């Protein structure tokens, strides 16, 4: 794989090796997110595309692990920022040179931008210009953010509303990058290339410090993106000691140089042996250590995604804002733990009112019991789940019928309101997004203008799997309010252009609908989605009305199916 920097590249349009079949994928986020676009690259490769990848240069050492990337273009982010501090004109010139080099070296027919930030949108536009198809996150002609594709709109709206986002980020990346006329490849996997021999040799040199009678290794990622998402280092040490004491499994500590204090905290509490590799590896050597281990015990981190891509089973702990349904490992058969607390997951951007109770809620004996059971049997559900369930919600990753990764609850929490609601959302969001992903047929606007009032069903009796009576009643009430407003909007749509006030009334009720959705925590992702769609189509009322009608049909079905299996007090 070519990773020549743009400054060193002498490529011109005449000597491009990619031609019209090249797709440029842009991912300028964290290490884990970079790895999580590998299944999209796999999809593109299977469809006959040659793929070039734009990423941050500080993650360029991971590029040898990426499959089917013909050429990588590391973005010199630190150099650009330094240029901005000195003279913004130098930074602009460097960025333009960088984009021109990509266009010359790739000659892309398609640009897929997976990063919603303004700089990434600007770069995508410079690379695509007027000659390449754009998917994902872009800018419009006036410099405002624009989402190309209905899944891009959903991903952008779900980013700030993760508590009610039911899909793994990998599958959202895959669908953002899929064309309207092609489906994502079946049986997806996050499959990374094996570490090079030099990295394996370096890993073996580190592992040589383990006791000679070690029966194997379990790697442990002690850090996380923020402190409140870190399981305590002393808890890792307690699990590591038990693995050594009962199975002669030697713990191997992983992490960056900045995570040295965590390794020191582990060492202070550990009584058994361990291998300390924190701050001693590059990314390929980290991959080599993972490939030598039987399991990774980890927080929600990029290391977790690296292990999943190498086929290494993960036992992952999700604290604070982290939850496995959207950022869990993209590998069937992994185990994800959440604290069994009503406040988890907590909202983004808010201080914890419970003194970070979730961080210490899951105790070392619980994690050790799961780890030992899997090491002995290869099964998570052979563990004492009744006891484990007092502290943790236990989820196992697997593929669903549509080849999307999902999580199945192994503990006694599958009947909780949140668990049932997430399962429902997966069904109805797929219906909504798959429907809207198809180009509206000719005359859709006219058909929308002739829409009839939407049928409003009343709650029915029965016992179903829709949650507690209080939750079901609240959700029915909110969904029914939204359906009534959609009813009003479809009727008012018939008057658009016929009376001066029709447009004003239509937009006013759009705002009322927005307020109803935003006021319900479980529907905030739908509220954000509605806001994004209105902003994209606000200047085209006919288009907005056609979209409103499509959403109305799905929401009526959602509400009706929701109440049909619900028991009300």
Compute the 3-state secondary structure of the chain and give helix, strand, coil in percent, each to the nearest 5. 50, 15, 35
pLDDT, residue 497, reads 67
**Number of CB atoms found within 10 A of residue 328's CB:** 28
Nearest to 502 by CA among 486, 491, 512: 491
Residue 398 to residue 404: CA distance in whole angstroms: 8
Tell whether the model's pLDDT for residue 24 goes beyond 90: yes
Show the DSSP H helices in 337-408 as ranges.
357-361, 364-377, 385-388
Retrieve residue 439's tokens: 């180009």
Residue 133 to residue 127: CA distance in whole angstroms: 11
Among 9-23, 178-192, 519-533, name the most confident range: 519-533
Cβ atoms of 104 and 79 within 8 Å: the answer is no
Q: Which fold has domain 13-177?
A: Rossmann fold (3.40.50)
Output phi, psi for 146, to 5 deg. -140, 140
What would the pLDDT profile of 108-142 be if each residue is shown by its tens digit? 999 999 999 999 999 999 999 989 999 999 998 88
Residue 435 to residue 447: CA distance in whole angstroms: 16
Tell whether the model's pLDDT for residue 322 goes beyond 50: yes
Residue 384 to residue 101: CA distance in whole angstroms: 57
444 pLDDT band, cuts 50/70/90, is very low
Sheet holding 145-148, edge to edge: 71-75, 50-56, 22-26, 110-113, 133-139, 145-148
Residue 271 to residue 130: CA distance in whole angstroms: 63
Please list the residues that pair with 392 across neighbouring strands: 339
What would the pLDDT profile of 376-425 be if each residue is shown by its tens digit? 999 999 999 999 999 999 999 999 988 899 999 999 999 999 898 888 88
Residue with more model confidence, 32 or 162: 32
Q: 176-180, 197-201, 317-321, 323-327 — which is least confidently predicted?
A: 176-180
Cβ atoms of 7 and 96 within 8 Å: the answer is no
Residue 296 to residue 266: CA distance in whole angstroms: 16
Cβ atoms of 483 and 555 within 8 Å: the answer is yes
Residue with more model confidence, 287 or 1: 287
pLDDT, residue 16, reads 36
Tell whether the model's pLDDT for residue 446 goes beyond 50: no
Tell whether the model's pLDDT for residue 454 goes beyond 60: no
Write down the mean pLDDT value for the chain: 86
pLDDT, residue 208, reads 98
pLDDT, residue 486, reads 86
Q: Which fold has domain 197-419?
A: Rossmann fold (3.40.50)
DSSP one-letter code for 250: E
Nearest to 218 by CA among 170, 255, 254: 254
Mean pLDDT of 35-49: 93
pLDDT, residue 367, reads 98
Mean pLDDT of 146-172: 87
Output phi, psi for 386, to 5 deg. -65, -40
39 pLDDT band, cuts 50/70/90, is very high
pLDDT, residue 2, reads 60
Tell whether the model's pLDDT for residue 173 goes beyond 50: yes
Please list the residues that pair with 406 across neighbouring strands: 398
Using CB atoms within 10 A of its CB, is residue 353 exposed (0-12), middle (13-18) or buried (19+)? exposed
Residue 296 to residue 299: CA distance in whole angstroms: 10
pLDDT, residue 189, reads 79
Tell whether the model's pLDDT for residue 568 goes beyond 50: no
Task: Tell whether omega for the bond before 468 is within 30 degrees of 0, i.e. cis.
Answer: no
pLDDT, residue 348, reads 78
Tell whether the model's pLDDT for residue 162 goes beyond 90: no
Alpha-carbon dihedral 457, 458, 462, 468, rounded to 10 degrees: 110
pLDDT, residue 538, reads 66
pLDDT, residue 71, reads 96
466 pLDDT band, cuts 50/70/90, is low
pLDDT, residue 4, reads 53
The dihedral through the CA atoms of 55, 189, 382, 274 has a sign that is: negative
Residue 249 to residue 244: CA distance in whole angstroms: 5
Residue 493 to residue 78: CA distance in whole angstroms: 51
Retrieve residue 18's tokens: 């990619």
Mean pLDDT of 218-232: 95
pLDDT, residue 236, reads 98
Mean pLDDT of 551-556: 83
183 pLDDT band, cuts 50/70/90, is low
Tell whether the model's pLDDT for residue 19 goes beyond 50: no
pLDDT, residue 61, reads 85
Show the DSSP H helices in 160-279 as ranges.
169-177, 197-207, 233-247, 260-269
pLDDT, residue 452, reads 36
Residue 82 to residue 556: CA distance in whole angstroms: 53
This prediction's pTM: 0.89
- To which residue do tokens 């658009």 refer? 496
Tell whether the model's pLDDT for residue 101 goes beyond 50: yes
What does the domain layout of the chain look like in residue ranges?
Answer: 13-177, 197-419, 440-564
Tell whether the model's pLDDT for residue 374 goes beyond 70: yes
Residue with more model confidence, 424 or 220: 220
């Amino acid at each position: 794989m070519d990773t020549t920097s743009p400054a060193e590249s002498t490529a011109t349009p005449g000597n491009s090796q990619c031609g019209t079949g090249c797709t440029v994928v842009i991912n300028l986020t964290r290490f884990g997110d970079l790895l999580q676009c590998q299944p999209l690259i796999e999809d593109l490769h299977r469809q006959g595309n040659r793929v070039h990848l734009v990423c941050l240069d500080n993650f360029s050492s991971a590029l040898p692990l990426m499959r089917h990337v013909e050429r990588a273009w590391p973005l010199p982010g630190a150099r650009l920022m330094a240029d901005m501090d000195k003279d913004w004109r130098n930074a602009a010139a460097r960025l333009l040179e960088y984009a021109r080099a990509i266009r010359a070296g790739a000659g892309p027919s398609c640009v897929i931008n997976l990063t919603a930030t303004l700089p990434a949108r600007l770069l995508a536009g410079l690379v695509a210009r007027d000659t390449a198809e754009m998917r994902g996150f872009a800018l419009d002609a006036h410099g405002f953010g624009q989402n190309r594709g209905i899944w891009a709109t959903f991903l952008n709206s779900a980013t700030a509303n993760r508590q009610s986002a039911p899909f793994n980020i990998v599958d959202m990346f895959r669908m953002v990058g899929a064309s309207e006329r092609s489906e994502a490849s079946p049986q997806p996997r996050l499959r990374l290339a094996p570490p090079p021999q030099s990295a394996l040799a370096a890993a073996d040199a580190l592992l040589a410090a383990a006791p000679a009678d070690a029966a194997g290794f379990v790697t442990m990622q002690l850090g996380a993106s923020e402190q409140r998402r870190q399981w305590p280092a002393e808890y890792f040490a307690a699990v590591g000691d038990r693995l050594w004491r009962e199975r002669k499994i030697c713990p191997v500590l992983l992490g960056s140089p900045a995570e040295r204090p965590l390794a020191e905290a582990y060492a202070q509490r550990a009584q058994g042996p361990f291998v300390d590799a924190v701050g001693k590896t590059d990314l390929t050597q980290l991959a080599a250590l993972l490939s030598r281990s039987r399991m990774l015990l980890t927080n929600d981190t990029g290391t977790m995604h690296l292990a999943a891509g190498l086929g290494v089973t993960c036992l992952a702990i999700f604290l604070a804002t982290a939850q496995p349904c959207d950022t869990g490992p993209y590998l069937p058969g992994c185990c994800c733990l959440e604290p069994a607390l009503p406040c988890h997951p907590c909202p983004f951007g808010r201080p914890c009112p419970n003194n970070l109770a979730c961080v210490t809620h899951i105790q070392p004996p619980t994690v050790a019991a799961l780890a030992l059971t899997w090491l002995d049997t290869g099964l998570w559900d052979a563990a004492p789940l009744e006891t484990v369930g007092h502290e943790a919600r236990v989820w196992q990753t697997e593929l669903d019928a549509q080849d999307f990764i999902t999580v199945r609850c192994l503990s006694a929490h599958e009947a909780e309101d949140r668990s049932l609601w997430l399962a429902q959302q997966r069904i109805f969001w797929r219906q909504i997004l798959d429907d809207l992903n198809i180009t509206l047929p000719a005359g859709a606007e006219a058909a929308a203008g002739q829409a009839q009032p939407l049928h409003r069903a009343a709650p029915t009796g029965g016992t179903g799997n829709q949650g507690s009576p209080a939750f079901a009643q609240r959700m029915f009430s909110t969904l029914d309010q939204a359906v009534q407003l959609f009813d009003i909007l479809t009727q008012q749509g018939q008057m658009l252009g016929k009376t001066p006030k029709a447009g004003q009334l239509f937009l006013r009720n759009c705002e009322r609908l927005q307020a109803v959705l935003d006021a319900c925590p479980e529907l905030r992702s739908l509220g954000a989605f509605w806001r994004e769609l209105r902003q994209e189509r606000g200047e085209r009322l006919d288009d907005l009305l056609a979209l409103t009608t499509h959403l109305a049909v799905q929401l009526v079905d959602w509400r009706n199916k929701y109440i049909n299996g619900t028991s009300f007090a």
